[in-house]
Chain A
Amino acid sequence: MSTPDNTVEQLANREYKWGFVSDIESDSLPPGLSEEVVRWISAKKNEPEFMLEWRLKAYRHWLTLTEPTWAKVEYPPIDYQTICYFSAPKSATDAPQSLDEVDPELLRTYEKLGIPLAEQKMLAGVAVDAVFDSVSVATTFREKLGEMGIIFCSFSEAVVQHPKLVRKWLGSVVPHTDNFYAALNSAVFSDGSFVYIPKGVRCPMELSTYFRINAANTGQFERTLIVAEEGSYVSYLEGCTAPMRDENQLHAAVVELVALDDATIKYSTVQNWYPGDKDGKGGIYNFVTKRGKCQGKRSKITWTQVETGSAITWKYPGCILMGDDSVGEFYSVALTNNHQQADTGTKMIHIGKNTRSTIISKGISAGLGQNTYRGQVKVLKGAEGARNFSQCDSMLLGDKCGAHTFPYIDVNNPTATLEHEATTSKIGEDQLFYCQQRGISTEDAINMIVNGFCKEVFSKLPMEFAVEAQKLLAVSLEDSVG
């Protein structure tokens, strides 16, 4: 492990280097995917041999797979040879020179979310001299964590500086063979985050990707790995409520979490990628594989997600409950408006004895949005005394949207207890009128009712994230009821 001072220095150098965009830009790859491309990416990132081998194995396996079609989403076929698998940072000349050149609609949204001007520039990709204002913040922050033995860095750094840890845990939860998108990600992933919490350490602050250096260009094939050693605790926040400017349509991220004995990982996401315009043009395809392994006894993993963006969401954060008495939780709000489609849910695999899982899913559909909950609860033979509680609620705004629920239950141990509740409600004329009769506008009334509907999930988010999530729902629901 490097000393914190070293890391800072390297970081500083690196950031500086990013300032000179011309040489990096010349390194951009033409579209297309081949073994050469995979080798090139690995070489470009100065990766050790084992990483290249791993990527190649994944790539060769990916060639044997076909795209899954079981999700309840529709989109034109993706030509994987037209995608660029290594995009260098946008050059300063290419990027908008000031906020005046940025889509006013985007700026309006930023304003509504109350994002400071400097951050607006960063999010909109405006060319700025200082790459990130948050660098100094992030640096002091990482020094502090470093003293406790916590590693929090970009995936690329981790591969170079902590190869043993990466080698030990990479692919241990989501193997390269897992699914089509996970295999693709394993072959070509660009960057992401790496977190390691040593034994018995309670991470004193929420770790946020927002503070991660070099976050701007890791979007397309992101890879995150979080390892919590025995008795440790970490809360990780992914994403940002502000819609990021992003040129890549296909996103296929992989997130792996590992919790050892008595460790707890809380992973919270607010996803607000570009959903496409009102007619369904453009928008991000978000095909994500997220999984946590409760490897240790009494370990606990909690997924909380608020999904409001993307044209298509395909995402099932799950937990493998291996350790006896381990706990998995999934709290989700997924909102689809206009032409958005979401097929999301979770997988809870009970392997250890007395393992427990809770699933609370809230789907909101507006406009022509289609919202599907797809969840699997599987209790293996040895999972004596396993328990699951699932609750899937759907809310419809208007009469052109849809809500669908596909719960799969597979129980192989007679001592298991499973409960499943599901409701579908239309945002009632009566509820709206009641609010209006008290002087509350239709828009505020809808926000209030929808936020009330999502309360159980929001209450699981870290405080400031929850406030942002509420604002975000309000913005996403704008004009959804005529």
Chain B
Amino acid sequence: MKGKETMLEIKNLRAGVEGQEILRGIDFAVRPGEVHAIMGPNGSGKSTLAGVLAGRDSYEVTGGSVRYLGHDLLEMAPEERAREGLFMAFQYPVEIPGVSTVNFLKAAVNAQRAHRGEEELDAMDFLGLLREKMKLVHMDDALLKRSVNEGFSGGEKKRNEIFQMAVLAPKLGILDETDSGLDIDALKIVAEGVNTLRGADRGFVVITHYQRLLDYIVPDFVHVLAEGRIVRSGDRQLALELEDKGYAWLDTTQPTS
């Protein structure tokens, strides 16, 4: 993997909401093929980090920089980021009544294809693509016709996120607490889906509260977030250590940087 150029480079990123600073200087970089896990207790800024990277405008960036595939990510509109291959699996997927999952995804796929100067997929090819990717997360055909996430169970919503990721085939996938609220069977299905999507050209940022997910999606790097800073970085062992000793253990240790 060495020698590959960095796809995402975050430098001293500071951000907050309504004047309150949440991220107080974040640094890390992701290269293609790498899976980075971001762990941390509640309120440490995990979801803020995901939101800032995806471009949610309720967050205010107050300092630092984020480079993504040669672009200044923070200057890009959310839809531009998506079209450039940045995908976020939501912690709380949103319901859109009256809009079928098929139509929603068709709009998304075609918007992204148009951005790349490709023609729209015809209906048959598109359905073929959906059918193929549904198998990845064992999704029921019937969910395609239902309104986006409406009346889906918690597990179905999360699987739908991974399914969408598979269909959109991003360059960088950000998973925001995808494991929350999942039972072990659903967790395995989701993790399996993510693992099939791992590849030499694709990077992942996996945000989670629990190390449990990392048993199934094995990360290359683990960063521990506390009070808006990365207080520790390491490999998989760090996650196991954390599980063993709990987040309270962090208070007694020194930050890495």
- Name A's B-contacting residues (CB within 8 A): 428-431, 433-442, 444, 448-449, 451-456
Contact = CB atoms under 8 A, between A and B. Distances in A.
B93 interface: yes
Given A440-B111, A441-B111, A434 B79 contact: no
B104 interface: yes
Given A434-B90, A436-B78, A436-B82, 5 more contacts: A436-B55, A438-B168, A439-B168, A448-B103, A452-B98
A437 B82 contact: yes
Nearest to B84: A439
A439 B108 contact: yes
The 4 closest A-B CB pairs, nearest first, are A452-B98, A438-B108, A455-B98, A452-B99
Interface string B150-184: 00000000000000100010000000000000000
A403 B77 CA distance: 31
A437 B88 contact: yes
**Of A429, A438, A449, which is in contact with the most chain B CB atoms at under 10 Å from its CB?**
A438
Contact of B107 (A428, A440, A456): A440
Majority SS of interface residues in chain A?
A: helix
Interface of B: 54-58, 77-79, 81-83, 87-88, 90, 93-99, 103-105, 107-108, 111-112, 115, 147, 164, 168
**Of B82, B164, B168, which is in contact with the most chain A CB atoms at under 10 Å from its CB?**
B82
Contacts of A435: 96, 104, 107-108
A429 B81 CA distance: 17
A336 to B, nearest CB: 20
Contacts of B112: 439
Contacts of B96: 431, 434-435, 448-449, 452
Contacts of A441: 79, 111
A431 B83 CA distance: 18
Given A437-B54, A438-B104, A439-B82, A444 B111 contact: yes
A453 B83 contact: no
Contact of B104 (A433, A448, A456): A448
A430 B104 CA distance: 15
**Of A428, A438, A439, A455, which is in contact with the most chain B CB atoms at under 10 Å from its CB?**
A439
Nearest to A430: B94
Contacts of B88: 437
Contacts of A453: 97-98
B129 to A, nearest CB: 15
Contacts of A438: 82, 87, 104-105, 107-108, 111, 164, 168
Contacts of B83: 439
B107 A451 contact: no
Nearest to B103: A448
